Amino acid sequence: MTIEAPAPFSHPVEAEFARILDFYGIPWQYEPRTFPLERDALGRVTEAFAPDFYLPDQDLYIELTTMQPKQVRHKNRKLRRLQELYPDVNIKLFKRGDIRTLMLKFGIQDYPDMMANEL
């Protein structure tokens, strides 16, 4: 069984993450900014990255991924590129294991269903 994500989120893990932040009164924004990573010869953006969350009080971007460890390489590459191009941007990647730990910590027992679809 998989759990659907309520709008505006694209994944139920994102929705739960937002609810945890709300519970603690931490302001957040969902995908507020897209960072161009690559451009073609004409200057058109060919690759970009929009982190899932921005926490303005912490000046911190959060990217969540439920991909299996072997599949995270592409996401890691994007993050490295973002940090090269935007060294002042603080970003943290929560991988599948990190999310699982977080969900267990907050008593979310049906997290396997939430993580069935890739984020």
> In angstroms, how far apart are the furthest CA atoms of the chain?
50
Tokens of 110: 């049906």
Sole binder of another protein in the list 14, 65, 100, 119 (CB under 8 A)? 100
Q: Does 37 bind another protein (CB under 8 A)?
A: no
* Span interacting with another protein, options 18-26, 29-37, 42-50, 77-85, rule CB under 8 A: 18-26
Query: Are 54 and 25 spatial neighbours (Cβ–Cβ below 8 Å)?
Result: no
Nearest distance in Å: CB 86, another protein: 20
Q: Does 20 bind another protein (CB under 8 A)?
A: yes
Q: Segment 40-59, which members bind another protein (CB under 8 A)?
A: 55, 57-58
Half-sphere exposure of 30 (CA within 13 A, CB side): 15
Q: Please give the Cα distance from 60 to 65 (Å, whole number).
A: 16
Respond yes or no on whether the N-terminal peptide bond of residue 69 is cis (omega within 30° of 0): no
- Is 88 or 109 the residue whose CB approaches another protein more closely? 109
* Span interacting with another protein, options 29-37, 38-46, 77-85, 111-119, rule CB under 8 A: 111-119
